[in-house]
Amino acid sequence: MKKVFRRFEKKLKRDSTALLVIDLQEKIMPVIINSDRVIDKSVRLIQGFKVLNLPIFYTEQYPRGLGSTHESVKKELEGLTPINKMSFSCFGADDLFIRLEDNNITSVVIVGVESHVCVLQTVLDLLENGFQVNVAADAVSSRTELDYMVALDRMRQHGAEVTTVESILFELLEVCGTAEFKSISKIVR
Protein backbone atom coordinates (compact mmCIF):
# COMPACT_ATOMS: atom_id res chain seq x y z
CA MET A 1 0.00 0.00 0.00
CA LYS A 2 1.28 3.45 -0.93
CA LYS A 3 1.84 5.96 1.83
CA VAL A 4 -0.49 8.96 1.79
CA PHE A 5 1.30 12.22 2.52
CA ARG A 6 -0.50 15.00 4.34
CA ARG A 7 0.01 18.64 5.22
CA PHE A 8 0.39 19.61 8.87
CA GLU A 9 -3.12 19.79 10.30
CA LYS A 10 -2.56 22.99 12.29
CA LYS A 11 -1.18 25.04 9.39
CA LEU A 12 -3.08 28.28 9.01
CA LYS A 13 -5.60 28.29 6.19
CA ARG A 14 -6.68 31.49 4.49
CA ASP A 15 -10.36 30.59 4.29
CA SER A 16 -10.69 30.12 8.07
CA THR A 17 -8.21 32.49 9.73
CA ALA A 18 -8.75 35.89 11.35
CA LEU A 19 -6.50 38.35 13.15
CA LEU A 20 -7.37 39.60 16.63
CA VAL A 21 -5.56 42.73 17.84
CA ILE A 22 -5.91 43.01 21.62
CA ASP A 23 -5.74 46.32 23.48
CA LEU A 24 -2.82 48.10 21.78
CA GLN A 25 -3.84 51.35 23.45
CA GLU A 26 -2.06 54.69 23.79
CA LYS A 27 -1.91 54.90 27.58
CA ILE A 28 -0.57 51.41 28.26
CA MET A 29 2.05 51.12 25.51
CA PRO A 30 4.68 53.36 27.21
CA VAL A 31 5.07 50.84 30.07
CA ILE A 32 5.18 47.73 27.84
CA ILE A 33 8.61 46.17 27.21
CA ASN A 34 9.61 46.24 23.55
CA SER A 35 6.53 48.36 22.79
CA ASP A 36 8.06 49.74 19.57
CA ARG A 37 8.61 46.20 18.27
CA VAL A 38 5.09 45.14 19.28
CA ILE A 39 3.56 48.12 17.43
CA ASP A 40 5.78 47.65 14.37
CA LYS A 41 5.15 43.91 14.08
CA SER A 42 1.41 44.32 14.73
CA VAL A 43 1.18 46.93 11.97
CA ARG A 44 3.04 44.63 9.58
CA LEU A 45 0.70 41.74 10.38
CA ILE A 46 -2.36 43.95 9.89
CA GLN A 47 -0.95 45.10 6.54
CA GLY A 48 -0.35 41.48 5.53
CA PHE A 49 -3.86 40.44 6.49
CA LYS A 50 -5.19 43.32 4.40
CA VAL A 51 -3.12 42.19 1.39
CA LEU A 52 -4.56 38.67 1.84
CA ASN A 53 -8.06 40.12 2.37
CA LEU A 54 -8.50 38.29 5.67
CA PRO A 55 -10.78 39.41 8.54
CA ILE A 56 -9.38 41.59 11.31
CA PHE A 57 -10.95 42.35 14.68
CA TYR A 58 -9.61 44.60 17.42
CA THR A 59 -10.44 45.36 21.01
CA GLU A 60 -9.98 48.20 23.43
CA GLN A 61 -9.90 47.57 27.17
CA TYR A 62 -11.76 50.26 29.11
CA PRO A 63 -11.00 53.00 26.55
CA ARG A 64 -12.16 55.76 28.90
CA GLY A 65 -9.23 54.93 31.16
CA LEU A 66 -6.63 53.47 28.76
CA GLY A 67 -7.37 55.64 25.75
CA SER A 68 -7.92 54.54 22.20
CA THR A 69 -5.79 52.28 20.04
CA HIS A 70 -2.23 53.47 19.36
CA GLU A 71 -2.27 55.90 16.42
CA SER A 72 0.04 53.78 14.18
CA VAL A 73 -2.18 50.75 14.64
CA LYS A 74 -5.44 52.69 14.38
CA LYS A 75 -4.32 54.13 11.03
CA GLU A 76 -3.97 50.58 9.64
CA LEU A 77 -7.36 49.59 11.10
CA GLU A 78 -9.20 52.46 9.42
CA GLY A 79 -12.76 51.47 8.57
CA LEU A 80 -12.98 48.92 11.37
CA THR A 81 -14.79 49.53 14.65
CA PRO A 82 -13.11 48.62 17.94
CA ILE A 83 -14.84 46.13 20.20
CA ASN A 84 -14.90 47.74 23.64
CA LYS A 85 -14.54 45.48 26.66
CA MET A 86 -14.28 45.59 30.40
CA SER A 87 -13.43 41.91 30.86
CA PHE A 88 -9.81 40.91 30.48
CA SER A 89 -10.62 38.07 28.09
CA CYS A 90 -12.08 38.92 24.71
CA PHE A 91 -14.61 36.20 25.57
CA GLY A 92 -16.50 39.03 27.26
CA ALA A 93 -16.06 41.40 24.31
CA ASP A 94 -19.56 41.77 22.95
CA ASP A 95 -20.36 38.98 20.49
CA LEU A 96 -16.81 38.48 19.19
CA PHE A 97 -16.77 34.68 19.52
CA ILE A 98 -20.16 34.48 17.77
CA ARG A 99 -18.87 36.73 14.97
CA LEU A 100 -15.83 34.46 14.54
CA GLU A 101 -18.05 31.40 14.33
CA ASP A 102 -20.52 33.12 11.96
CA ASN A 103 -17.60 33.89 9.62
CA ASN A 104 -16.41 30.25 9.69
CA ILE A 105 -13.22 31.23 11.50
CA THR A 106 -11.50 28.27 13.11
CA SER A 107 -8.02 29.80 13.55
CA VAL A 108 -7.27 33.07 15.30
CA VAL A 109 -3.93 34.89 15.12
CA ILE A 110 -3.29 37.03 18.21
CA VAL A 111 -1.27 40.21 18.76
CA GLY A 112 -1.54 42.65 21.65
CA VAL A 113 -1.02 43.33 25.33
CA GLU A 114 -0.64 42.32 28.02
CA SER A 115 0.63 38.80 27.39
CA HIS A 116 -0.10 37.54 30.88
CA VAL A 117 -3.55 39.11 31.27
CA CYS A 118 -5.82 39.94 28.32
CA VAL A 119 -3.86 37.97 25.72
CA LEU A 120 -3.46 34.88 27.91
CA GLN A 121 -7.09 34.81 29.07
CA THR A 122 -8.34 35.28 25.51
CA VAL A 123 -6.08 32.53 24.18
CA LEU A 124 -7.25 30.10 26.87
CA ASP A 125 -10.93 30.90 26.17
CA LEU A 126 -10.46 30.54 22.41
CA LEU A 127 -8.75 27.16 22.92
CA GLU A 128 -11.52 26.04 25.27
CA ASN A 129 -14.05 26.82 22.54
CA GLY A 130 -12.28 24.79 19.86
CA PHE A 131 -10.38 27.52 18.01
CA GLN A 132 -6.82 27.02 16.87
CA VAL A 133 -4.74 29.91 18.20
CA ASN A 134 -1.48 31.29 16.83
CA VAL A 135 0.26 33.84 19.03
CA ALA A 136 2.77 36.17 17.36
CA ALA A 137 5.48 36.20 20.04
CA ASP A 138 7.12 39.27 18.48
CA ALA A 139 3.82 41.21 18.56
CA VAL A 140 2.71 40.54 22.15
CA SER A 141 4.27 41.78 25.38
CA SER A 142 3.81 42.72 29.03
CA ARG A 143 5.23 45.21 31.51
CA THR A 144 7.84 42.66 32.64
CA GLU A 145 9.93 40.07 30.83
CA LEU A 146 8.98 37.37 33.35
CA ASP A 147 5.24 37.88 32.82
CA TYR A 148 5.79 37.79 29.05
CA MET A 149 7.84 34.58 29.12
CA VAL A 150 5.59 32.72 31.58
CA ALA A 151 2.51 33.70 29.55
CA LEU A 152 4.03 32.36 26.30
CA ASP A 153 4.94 29.11 28.06
CA ARG A 154 1.47 28.73 29.52
CA MET A 155 -0.25 29.42 26.19
CA ARG A 156 2.02 26.87 24.48
CA GLN A 157 1.35 24.26 27.19
CA HIS A 158 -2.39 24.58 26.61
CA GLY A 159 -2.15 24.15 22.84
CA ALA A 160 -1.50 27.55 21.29
CA GLU A 161 1.01 27.76 18.45
CA VAL A 162 3.62 30.35 19.44
CA THR A 163 5.30 31.76 16.36
CA THR A 164 6.29 35.06 14.66
CA VAL A 165 4.66 37.62 12.39
CA GLU A 166 6.78 36.70 9.38
CA SER A 167 6.17 32.98 9.86
CA ILE A 168 2.41 33.58 10.07
CA LEU A 169 2.32 35.64 6.88
CA PHE A 170 4.34 33.17 4.82
CA GLU A 171 2.31 30.25 6.19
CA LEU A 172 -0.85 31.95 4.96
CA LEU A 173 0.75 32.73 1.58
CA GLU A 174 1.88 29.12 0.94
CA VAL A 175 3.56 29.96 -2.40
CA CYS A 176 5.88 32.56 -3.87
CA GLY A 177 5.74 34.26 -7.23
CA THR A 178 2.36 35.96 -6.77
CA ALA A 179 1.45 39.64 -6.43
CA GLU A 180 0.49 38.92 -2.80
CA PHE A 181 3.92 37.38 -2.18
CA LYS A 182 5.64 40.48 -3.56
CA SER A 183 3.50 42.78 -1.38
CA ILE A 184 4.09 40.73 1.76
CA SER A 185 7.82 40.43 1.06
CA LYS A 186 7.99 44.25 1.10
CA ILE A 187 5.99 44.36 4.35
CA VAL A 188 8.30 42.00 6.25
CA ARG A 189 11.55 43.64 5.10
The residues carrying an active-site annotation are: 23, 85, 118
DSSP codes joined into one string, 34-48: THHHHHHHHHHHHHH
Contact assessment for residue 125 and residue 96, using Cβ atoms and an 8 Å cutoff: no
The rounded distance, in Å, linking the Cα atoms of 132 and 109 is: 9
SS3 call for 144: coil
Name the residue among 174, 166, 143, 160 with its Cα closest to residue 33. Answer: 143
**Sheet strand arrangement including 161-163:** 83-85, 56-61, 17-22, 107-113, 132-141, 161-163
DSSP 130: T
The rounded distance, in Å, linking the Cα atoms of 83 and 96 is: 8
DSSP 29: G
SS3 call for 161: strand
